[in-house]
């Protein structure tokens, strides 16, 4: 089994890091150009999906266990909703990012706010994509009666 | 943070942040108490915030909250007036009772491992419904409708642990619900194309005097889309199965809130967005909403008589009750509108109580067929008594909320020169006597199999009796509901002019 698909495995190993890097590029460039958290999250997840396709789901699960994914989903979403709520605690309205940097003359707070929100979106999307993939790929072929 | 100024978003943002945190709570430690207690506390906080909002709106007038400090019509506005404050209080109030109620019932009906997920989804469903009610932005309504619907599909499907038919019921609901949401968003798209705005108040201004095919088509799409969500006859077929096969606690919450919220959206769009003076809306009242409302009242009540499954019977009865609400709306008068708002609130109370009683029976006797209710008055006297009071309320016996809403509806139909409507309302109520009476007869007159059974635990009986008490209290003291609904109706009609 280890010797099968040698070329595929080497290529995936080579590609893995650049894909993650590209995801981060899309993530942070999303502020100024095309891209953003959704796309970046999907690209990020693709790296792991490729890994699972070639190395097997068990290997990928060892790298990124399902518990960690659940945590990432929650933390990502909390970044997303929390940024909006944090501005309330800072004295602004919900989603009023100006409250993050109140003395800025050029709405610096808006940039920080959207950066944090996009980070949360990226994390939540990446982990949700992988969660869906794990569940579909790892599904038992026959569902036993008592599992219903 | 200025709590009073932030009050309008608290019912949304608190459960929205609490929901992912609930997922992290261990579902199996301490018998699953952690997610349960946490979600219950959240629902109480939300109810407190909603009640505070209602109080503030009733005394100081409508509140407008600007998301992210972007002024409407560009930014999203949360606009709370009496009409949505009333529905908001109903939804959060039922949630504040349904969450504590759910513990014993849901632990018996779903897999323990799913408990945290269940409470997270229930919170999200609540956020969605509250958001639909609270927002003043038409597109935002769609977003929240989707949030509540998606979580509801999953909640209904959880019933599969008890009965696999929950899966097909949920899938049916998913297909129908998605069609409804699509129609709704197509309608919004057409209105947006015509006006270039999505803020409800601004839409009203832009649409004034405008009457072309595109606006008419947009209105029709919105009406059909929301009619599907509201289980308006003849688009109700997803509902009986969804309610019958969902976990009992989920059915309690859904039956008391989700269709009511959709009816609220219909009212909101007719009056605040389109304007009732819009010729087309007038035609829709007379030739579409009124006939369908009457057909729903009669047909669904007759179908309810022949149901073997108690929850399906209650669901068909809901279709009929939605008919009453729409009939009130179709009069196009202040009184009719107020009657339908009162009934919207009251029906939430009675159906919540009935489904809670049904959940108690499912927990102890494991049955939801009507035949299983034979001799219930002896086997579970407390539950049976609660069921009977709620059933009398549904029929409209004086001293209960059902009487108040029917009285209002009758008065409205005579005053608007529609005596035929009054006769139909009475006729449908007589049908309700038949289908509820059939079950009461089984419960009290027949001997059931088995002797006295243990009553449901206090966590279930107390919320049940609070709802039953509300049925009687608001039936005797109509100051709050009728008074507020009348003022809300006046405000809505004022919007329309």
Asked whether the predicted pLDDT for residue A102 surpasses 70, the reply is yes
**Min distance A4 CA to chain B CA atoms (Å):** 38
Top mean pLDDT of A52-66, B22-36, B383-397 is at: B383-397
Distance CA A20, CA A50 (A): 12
Q: Does A78 touch chain B (CB under 8 A)?
A: yes
Mean pLDDT of B467-496: 87
Q: For an interface test with B, which of A94, A124, A148 has the most B Cβ atoms less than 10 Å from its Cβ?
A: A94
pLDDT band at residue B137 using 50, 70 and 90 as cut-offs: very high
Residue B135 three-state SS: strand
CB contact under 8 Å between A93 and B68, yes or no, is yes
Collapsing DSSP to helix, strand or coil, B338 comes out as helix
Burial of A140 (0-12, 13-18, 19+ CB in 10 A): exposed
What is the rounded CA–CA span in Å between residue A51 and residue B420? 70
d(CA B69, CA B65): 9
Inter-chain CB pairs, A–B, below 8 Å: 53
Mean of pLDDT values over B482-486: 89
Tokens of B220: 């029709």
Percent of chain B whose predicted confidence (pLDDT) is above 70: 98
Task: Compare B414 and A107 and report the one with higher pLDDT.
Answer: B414
Contacts of B15 (CB under 8 A, 6+ apart): B42, B43, B46, B123, B124, B126, B127, B130
Give residue-wise pLDDT tens across range A22-67. 999 999 887 777 778 899 999 999 999 999 988 888 888 898 998 8
CB contact under 8 A, A77 and B20: yes
Average pLDDT of span B427-431: 92
The pLDDT confidence band at residue A143, using thresholds 50, 70 and 90, is low
Give tens-digit pLDDT for B251-274: 999 999 999 999 999 999 988 888
Single pTM value for the model: 0.92
pLDDT tens digits, residue range B50-102?
999 999 998 888 889 888 888 888 889 999 989 999 999 999 999 999 999 99
Q: Return the higher-pLDDT residue of B68 and B290.
A: B290
pLDDT at site B1: 65
Q: How far is A97 from chain B (nearest CA, A)?
A: 7
Give the three-class secondary structure for B386.
helix
Overall average pLDDT of the B409-427 stretch: 91
- pLDDT-based confidence at residue B353 (cuts at 50, 70, 90): very high
Q: Supply the pLDDT for residue B15.
A: 94
Q: Is A90 helix (H, G, I), strand (E, B) or coil?
A: coil
**DSSP structural state of residue A98:** G
- The mean per-residue pLDDT over the stretch B1-18 comes to 87
Cα→Cα distances B319→B154, B239, B293, B456, Å: 22, 8, 9, 28
Residue A147 has pLDDT above 60, yes or no: no
Cβ neighbours of B6 in A, within 8 Å: 88, 93-94
How close, in Å, is residue B145 to chain A by CA atoms? Answer: 18
Any CB–CB contact under 8 A between B143 and chain A?
no
Closest chain B residue to the Cα of A148, Cα to Cα: B161
Cβ contact, residue pair A88, B24, below 8 Å: no
Q: Report pLDDT for B470.
A: 93
- On the 0-12 / 13-18 / 19+ scale of CB atoms within 10 A, A71 is middle
State the complex-level ipTM.
0.86
CA distances from B349 to B298, B343, B353, B405 (A): 22, 10, 6, 12
How far off is chain B from A142, nearest CA to CA, in Å? 16
Q: What is the pLDDT of residue B276?
A: 64
Determine which of A88, A112, A113, A124 to mutate to test the interface with B (most B C-beta atoms within 10 Å).
A88
Contacts of A74 in chain B (CB under 8 A): 20-21, 23-24
Contacts of B164 in chain A (CB under 8 A): 148
Residue of A nearest to B15 (CA): A81
Determine the residue of chain B that is closest to A97 in CA distance: B68
Q: Which two tokens stand for residue B67?
A: 């998301």
Confidence grade of residue A144 (pLDDT, cut at 50, 70, 90): low
Predicted pLDDT of residue B162 = 84
Say whether pLDDT at A4 is over 80. no
- Nearest residue in A to B158, CA atom: A148
The alpha carbon torsion through B33, B37, B40, B45 (nearest 10 deg) reads: -170
- Span B291-317, average pLDDT: 92
Other beta carbons less than 10 A from residue B68's beta carbon: 18
Residue A94 to residue B67, Cβ atoms within 8 A: yes
Q: How far is CA B110 from CA B102, B116, B242, B353, in A?
A: 11, 11, 16, 22
- Grade residue A142 by pLDDT with cuts at 50, 70 and 90: low
**Option in A74, A82, A88 nearest B6 (CB):** A88
Q: Give the one of A74, A81, A92 whose C-beta lies nearest to B69's C-beta.
A: A92
Question: Does the beta carbon of A85 lie under 8 angstroms from any beta carbon of chain B?
Answer: yes
Decide if pLDDT at B422 tops 60. Answer: yes
Portion 47-66 of A in contact with B at CB < 8 A: none
pLDDT tens for B168-211 read: 999 999 999 999 999 999 999 999 998 888 998 888 888 887 77
Q: Is B167 exposed, middle or buried (0-12, 13-18, 19+ CB in 10 A)?
A: middle
pLDDT of residue B221: 94
CA distance A34 to chain B (A): 23
Q: Answer whether A73 touches B (CB < 8 Å).
A: yes
Q: How confident is the model at residue B277 (pLDDT cuts 50, 70, 90)?
A: low
Q: What does the block give as tokens for B307? A: 């149901």
Q: What is the mean pLDDT of chain B?
A: 90
């Amino acid at each position: 089994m280890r010797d099968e698909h040698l070329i595929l495995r080497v290529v995936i190993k080579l590609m893995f890091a650049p894909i993650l890097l590209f995801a981060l590029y899309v993530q942070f460039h999303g502020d100024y150009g095309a891209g953003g958290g959704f796309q970046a999250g999907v690209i990020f997840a693709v790296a792991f999906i490729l890994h699972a396709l070639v190395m097997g789901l068990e290997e990928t699960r060892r790298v990124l266990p399902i518990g960690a994914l659940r945590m990432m989903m929650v933390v990502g979403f909390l970044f997303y909703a929390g940024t909006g709520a944090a501005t309330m605690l800072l004295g602004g309205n919900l989603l009023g990012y100006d409250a993050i940097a109140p003395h800025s003359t050029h709405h610096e707070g808006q940039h920080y706010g959207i950066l944090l929100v996009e980070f949360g979106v990226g994390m939540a999307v990446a982990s949700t994509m992988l969660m869906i993939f794990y569940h579909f790929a790892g599904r038992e072929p026959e569902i036993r009666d008592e599992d219903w | 943070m200025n709590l009073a100024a932030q009050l309008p978003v608290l019912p949304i943002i608190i459960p929205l942040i609490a929901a992912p945190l609930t997922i992290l709570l261990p579902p199996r430690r301490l018998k699953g108490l952690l997610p349960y207690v946490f979600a219950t506390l959240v629902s109480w906080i939300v109810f407190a915030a909603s009640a505070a909002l209602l109080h503030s709106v009733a005394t100081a007038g409508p509140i407008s909250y600007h998301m992210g400090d972007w002024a409407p019509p560009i930014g999203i506005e949360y606009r709370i007036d009496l009409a949505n404050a009333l529905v908001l209080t109903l939804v959060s109030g039922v949630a504040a009772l349904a969450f504590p109620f759910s513990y014993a019932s849901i632990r018996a009906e779903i897999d323990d491992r799913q408990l945290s997920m269940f409470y997270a989804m229930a919170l999200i469903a609540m956020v969605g419904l509250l958001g639909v009610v609270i927002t003043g932005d038409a597109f935002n309504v769609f977003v929240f409708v989707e949030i509540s619907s998606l979580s509801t599909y999953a909640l209904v499907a959880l019933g599969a642990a008890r009965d696999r038919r929950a899966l097909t019921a949920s899938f049916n609901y998913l297909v129908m619900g998605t069609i409804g949401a699509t129609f709704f968003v197509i309608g919004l798209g057409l209105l947006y194309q015509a006006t270039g705005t999505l803020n409800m108040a601004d839409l009203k201004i832009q649409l004034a005097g405008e009457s072309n095919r595109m606006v008419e088509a947009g209105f029709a799409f919105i009406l059909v889309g929301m009619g599907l969500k509201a289980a308006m006859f003849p688009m109700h077929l997803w509902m009986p199965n969804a309610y019958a096969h969902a976990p009992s606690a989920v059915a309690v919450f859904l039956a008391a809130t989700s269709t009511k919220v959709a009816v609220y959206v219909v009212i909101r769009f007719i009056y605040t967005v389109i304007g009732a003076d819009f010729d087309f809306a007038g035609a829709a009242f007379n030739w579409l909403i009124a006939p369908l409302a009457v057909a729903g009242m009669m047909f669904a009540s007759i179908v309810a008589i022949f149901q073997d499954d108690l929850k399906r019977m209650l669901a068909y009865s809901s279709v009929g009750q939605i008919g009453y609400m729409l009939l009130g709306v179709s009069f196009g008068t202040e009184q009719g509108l107020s009657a339908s708002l009162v009934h919207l609130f009251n029906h939430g109370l009675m159906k919540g109580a009935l489904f809670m009683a049904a959940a108690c029976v499912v927990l102890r006797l494991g049955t939801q067929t009507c035949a299983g209710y034979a001799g219930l008055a002896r086997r579970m006297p407390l539950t049976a008594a609660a069921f009977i009071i709620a059933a009398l309320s549904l029929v409209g016996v004086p001293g209960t909320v059902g009487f108040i809403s029917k009285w209002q509806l009758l008065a409205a139909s005579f005053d608007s020169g529609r005596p035929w409507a009054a006769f139909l309302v009475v006729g449908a109520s007589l049908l309700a006597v038949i289908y509820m009476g059939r079950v009461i007869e089984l419960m009290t007159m027949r001997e059931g199999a088995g002797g006295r059974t243990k009553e449901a635990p206090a966590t279930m009986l107390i919320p049940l009796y609070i709802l039953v008490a509300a049925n009687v209290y608001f039936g005797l003291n109509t100051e709050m509901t009728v008074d507020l609904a009348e003022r809300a109706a006046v405000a809505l009609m004022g919007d329309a002019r």
